[in-house]
Amino acid sequence: MRQLRLAQWRRLAEKPQNRCIVPLTEFCEFTPNKRDPGDGKLPLKGEMWFSTDQHVFPVAGLWQRTKDRVGFTMVTCDPNELVAPIHPKAMITILDPEDVDTWLRGSYDEVVALQKPYNAAKMTVRGPVFPTRTGEK
């Protein structure tokens, strides 16, 4: 969800009680094109796994309770130069540890300012891997 300024997202983002942190150790994007993993089967998209300099990193999220359930979404932003070749439209909004409190308690304008690409120099990527074919993880 990239457009925090749209009315349906703004009503969630402007209320601190609707903000959350999604802790991750890494995230996956599929390769844009199919590749041949060399197993004699049809080519498929590989998994590219991204991690950061933080063992567990905080991702900006929003949540809400509806009549039937509770749901959440991870906030996205423009991709950095590491993610863009794999997913040119967006990446998740990874927060620096010092920005977590601002995301959870800050003003609407402060949280919108945090919706930016994470520093690519602080990230690594591995892949492509094809776990459904090779058992790799």
Q: What domains, with CATH codes, occur in the chain?
A: 7-128 (3.90.1680.10)
Global confidence as pTM: 0.88
Q: Exposed e or buried b for every residue in 63-94, given b needs 16+ CB within 10 A?
A: eeeeeeeeeeebbbbebbebbeebbeebbbbb
Residue 39's pLDDT is: 84
- Is the confidence at residue 128, as pLDDT, over 80? yes
* Interval 85-108: pLDDT, tens: 999 999 999 999 999 999 999 999
Mean pLDDT of 63-68: 89
Task: Check residue 135 and give its pLDDT.
Answer: 60
Indicate whether 4 pLDDT > 80. no
**Predicted local confidence at residue 9, as pLDDT:** 84
Partnered with residue 74 across adjacent β-strands are 61
- CA Rg, the chain, in Å? 17
Name residue 65's amino acid.
R
Distance of CA 53 to the CA centre of its chain: 15
